[in-house]
């Protein structure tokens, strides 16, 4: 049966905590059945497991971060691509993962050889990155994946100015008093890269580490410094990177339309789905689609009870 890579990552991550126990149990069972010694678990096997866990961790963190619903995700996409490209480059010659990395790198190039304008604008709007920082990040990705982004950077700059002029025409006459904010420096990998290259100037920009930094900078208060850029940022940053959250909200329709409620109109189904999602939003549970029936079935499993003989199974 095919197993998803993220399930494999979580399984291996949890196994590492019990490596001694698992090794003793597995080797004892093999010894009892008279299996050959090369099949015994050794420290070399666990070393390979650690390599796989370290490799999968970057991708797993990306799948957890980007579908978020309580913070802007669009500005994080470029940073995740930076991490993935750096990871693949570092494992390209690895004896265990080298062959798989070649295939993964080919697919990564297929999707990210052309950076979407939406991702580029989101990164530029982030006051910690700006246009100069985006150039550094794309150059770093290009080195790792052997891609030339120079023409794309020129196109991005041109389109950025075009879009900004449109917003300036509409909101340029708005005057709002300036506000001052403290400066702090993030400590993530992408930010270290920007500082190390010395192509990024940390001037009077807002440098906040929290997830609410972009909202506080551009739309959280009425006294922001850049009214034109703020309107542009609020239009761009509200766009999610992933549609997982929206799909999860409407995937519950199968539990709304059931034999006892099969006469509901489409509009009523939409109303019930939205009400359910709004209730989850109040409790901050939108990204935790919970099926009580599944949880109940898992609670009734007595895996560690030797007296359990599979009650309820056919």
Count up the domains in the chain and report the number. 2
What burial letters (b/e) apply to 148-180, b meaning 16+ CB within 10 Å?
Answer: ebeebbeebeeebeeebeebbeeeeeeeeeeee
Q: Are residues 117 and 229 both part of a single domain?
A: yes
Q: Are residues 260 and 215 both part of a single domain?
A: no
Q: Are residues 250 and 223 both part of a single domain?
A: no
Confidence of residue 288 (pLDDT cuts 50, 70, 90): low
Q: Are residues 238 and 296 both part of a single domain?
A: no
Confidence of residue 312 (pLDDT cuts 50, 70, 90): very low
What is the three-state SS of the chain?
CCCCHHHHHHHHHHHHCCHHHHHHHHHHHHHHHCCCHHHCCCHHHHHHHHHHHHHHHHHHHHHHHCCCCCCCCHHHHHHHHHHHHHHHHHCCCCCCCHHHHHHHHHHHHHHHCCCCHHHHHHHHHCCCCHHHHHHHHHHHHHHHHCCCCHHHHHHHHHHHHHHHHHHHHHHCCCCCCCCCCCCCCCCCHHHHHHHHHCCCCCCCCCCCCCCCHHHHHHCCCCCCCCHHHHHHHHHHHCCCCCCHHHHHHHCCHHHHCCHHHCCCCHHHHHHHHHHHHHHHHHCCCCCCCCCHHHHHHHHCCCCCCCCCCCCCCC
pLDDT digit string, tens, across residues 156-204 = 999 999 999 998 888 877 655 554 554 454 555 676 776 665 444 433 3
Residue 289: pLDDT over 80: no
Domain boundary among 242, 270, 296: 242
Domain boundary among 193, 210, 242: 242
Q: Are 228 and 125 in contact (CB under 8 A)?
A: no
**117 in a domain, yes or no?**
yes
**189 in a domain, yes or no?**
yes
What pLDDT, on the 0 to 100 scale, is given for residue 227?
80
Confidence of residue 209 (pLDDT cuts 50, 70, 90): very low
Over range 126-136, report the average pLDDT.
89
What pLDDT, on the 0 to 100 scale, is given for residue 42?
84
**53 in a domain, yes or no?**
no
What pLDDT, on the 0 to 100 scale, is given for residue 137?
93
Q: Are residues 297 and 185 both part of a single domain?
A: no
Report the percent of the chain where pLDDT is more than 90: 26
Domain boundary among 212, 227, 242: 242
pLDDT digit string, tens, across residues 269-283 = 788 878 877 787 777
pLDDT digit string, tens, across residues 233-282 = 888 988 888 766 555 555 555 556 666 666 778 888 788 878 877 787 77
Domain that holds residue 312: 243-314
**119 in a domain, yes or no?**
yes
Q: Are residues 199 and 278 both part of a single domain?
A: no
Report the percent of the chain where pLDDT is more than 70: 65
**84 in a domain, yes or no?**
no
What pLDDT, on the 0 to 100 scale, is given for residue 250?
54
**289 in a domain, yes or no?**
yes
**21 in a domain, yes or no?**
no
Average pLDDT of the residues of the chain:
75
Q: Are residues 168 and 237 both part of a single domain?
A: yes
Over range 84-107, report the average pLDDT.
91
**152 in a domain, yes or no?**
yes
């Amino acid at each position: 049966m095919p197993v998803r890579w993220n399930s494999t990552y979580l399984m291996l991550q949890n196994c590492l905590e019990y490596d001694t126990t698992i090794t003793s149990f597995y080797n004892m069972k093999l010894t009892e059945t008279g299996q050959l010694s090369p099949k015994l678990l050794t420290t070399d096997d666990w070393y390979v497991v650690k390599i796989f866990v370290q490799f999968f961790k970057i991708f797993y963190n990306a799948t957890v971060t980007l579908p978020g619903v309580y913070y802007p995700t669009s500005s994080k996409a470029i940073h995740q691509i930076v991490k993935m490209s750096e990871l693949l480059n570092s494992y390209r010659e690895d004896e265990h993962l080298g062959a798989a990395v070649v295939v993964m790198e080919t697919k990564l190039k297929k999707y990210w050889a052309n950076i979407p304008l939406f991702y580029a604008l989101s990164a530029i709007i982030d006051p910690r990155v700006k246009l100069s920082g985006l150039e550094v990040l794309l150059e770093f990705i290009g080195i790792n994946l052997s891609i030339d982004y120079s023409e794309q950077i020129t196109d991005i700059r041109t389109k950025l100015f075009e879009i900004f002029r449109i917003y300036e025409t509409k909101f340029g006459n708005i005057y709002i008093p300036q506000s001052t904010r403290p400066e702090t420096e993030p400590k993530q990998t992408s930010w270290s890269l920007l500082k190390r290259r010395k192509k990024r100037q940390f001037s009077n920009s807002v440098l906040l580490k929290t997830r609410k930094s972009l909202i506080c900078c551009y739309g959280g208060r009425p006294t922001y410094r850049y009214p034109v850029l703020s309107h542009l940022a609020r239009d761009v940053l509200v766009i999610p990177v992933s549609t997982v959250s929206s799909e999860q909200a409407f995937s519950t329709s199968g539990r709304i339309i059931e034999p006892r409620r099969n006469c509901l109109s489409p509009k009523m189904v939409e109303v019930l789905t939205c009400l359910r999602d709004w209730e989850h939003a109040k409790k901050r549970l939108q990204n935790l689609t919970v099926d009580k029936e599944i949880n109940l079935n898992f609670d009734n499993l007595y895996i560690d009870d030797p007296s359990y003989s599979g009650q309820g199974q056919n």
